[in-house]
Amino acid sequence: MTFISFNYTLFLLIVLGIYWLTPRQSGRVFILLVASLIFYGTFQLQYIPLILIITLFNFYLAQAIGEPEDWRIANTQWNRRRLLLLWLGIICNVLLLLSFKYIPFLLNIIGIIYNLPKILETANWVDDNVTAPLGLSFFCFECLAYLIDIYRGAPAAASWLEFTSYKLFFPKLISGPITRYHYLQNQLGMTGKKNSEVLVKIPALKFPNLEKVTEGIWLIATGAAKKALIADNLGIFVDLSFSNLQRAGSGDLWLATVAYGLQLYLDFSAYVDIARGSAFLMGLNLPQNFDFPYFSKSIAEFWRRWHTTLGDWLRNYLYFPLGGSRVGLFGTCLNLLIVMLIAGIWHGAAWGFIVWGIWHGLGLVIHRLVDSFSKQFNLKKVWESWLGILLSWLLTQGMVFGGWIFFRLPNLRDSIWVIEHWWGYDADVQFADKVYLEVMGLERLQLVWLICVVVVAMVVNFWFHRGLKLQLNWHLKVLLVPVFLFTVWLLAPEGLPYIYFDF
Which of the four pLDDT bands, split at 50, 70 and 90, describes residue 202? very low
Computed over its alpha carbons, how large is the radius of gyration of the chain? Answer: 24
Does 3 have pLDDT greater than 90? no
Cβ contacts of 170 within 8 Å, gap of 6 or more: 32, 35, 36, 39, 40, 278
- Maximum average pLDDT range among 153-162, 301-310, 437-446: 301-310
Report the alpha-carbon angle 488-408-343, nearest 5.
Answer: 105
What local confidence, expressed as pLDDT, does residue 398 receive? 94
Does 307 have pLDDT greater than 60? yes
Please report, rounded to a whole number, the percentage of residues in the chain having pLDDT higher than 90: 54
DSSP bridge partners of 197? 194
Is 347 catalytic? The answer is yes
The answer to which of 284-293, 305-314, 334-343, 440-449 has the lowest mean pLDDT is 440-449
Q: Strand 192-194 vs strand 156-157: parallel, antiparallel, or unpaired? A: antiparallel
The answer to which of 133-142, 201-210, 223-232, 281-290 has the lowest mean pLDDT is 201-210
What local confidence, expressed as pLDDT, does residue 112 receive? 85
Give pTM, 2 decimals.
0.91
What local confidence, expressed as pLDDT, does residue 190 receive? 61
What local confidence, expressed as pLDDT, does residue 366 receive? 94
Q: 192 — phi, psi (to 5°)?
A: -130, 150
The answer to which of 41-45, 246-250, 310-314 has the lowest mean pLDDT is 246-250
Q: What is the pLDDT of residues 69-120, one digit of tens each?
A: 555 555 667 788 889 999 999 999 999 998 888 888 888 888 888 888 888 8
What local confidence, expressed as pLDDT, does residue 73 receive? 55
Does 264 have pLDDT greater than 80? yes
Does 212 have pLDDT greater than 60? yes
Does 268 have pLDDT greater than 90? yes
The answer to which of 23-27, 47-51, 227-231, 396-400 has the lowest mean pLDDT is 23-27
Strand stretches in 386-496, DSSP E: none
Which of the four pLDDT bands, split at 50, 70 and 90, describes residue 424? confident
* Distance (Å, whole) CA 116 – CA 110: 8
* Distance (Å, whole) CA 432 – CA 425: 14
Please, are residues 86 and 79 in contact by the beta-carbon 8 Å criterion?
no
Which of the four pLDDT bands, split at 50, 70 and 90, describes residue 66? confident
Choice among 182, 307, 347, 360 that is catalytic: 347
Look at residues 121, 503, 69 and name the one whose alpha carbon lies nearest to residue 307: 503
Does 477 have pLDDT greater than 70? yes
What local confidence, expressed as pLDDT, does residue 442 receive? 84
Rounded (10°) angle between helices 181-188 and 25-44: 140
Look at residues 496, 429, 445, 448 and name the one whose alpha carbon lies nearest to residue 244: 429
More confident residue, 372 or 394: 394
Please report, rounded to a whole number, the percentage of residues in the chain having pLDDT higher than 70: 94
Q: Which amino acid is at 268?
A: F
DSSP bridge partners of 198? 193
* Distance (Å, whole) CA 187 – CA 149: 18
* Distance (Å, whole) CA 362 – CA 340: 9
What local confidence, expressed as pLDDT, does residue 68 receive? 62
Does 38 have pLDDT greater than 90? yes
Does 195 have pLDDT greater than 50? no
Please, are residues 189 and 202 in contact by the beta-carbon 8 Å criterion?
yes
Does 332 have pLDDT greater than 50? yes
The answer to whether the peptide bond before residue 117 is cis (omega within 30 degrees of 0) is no
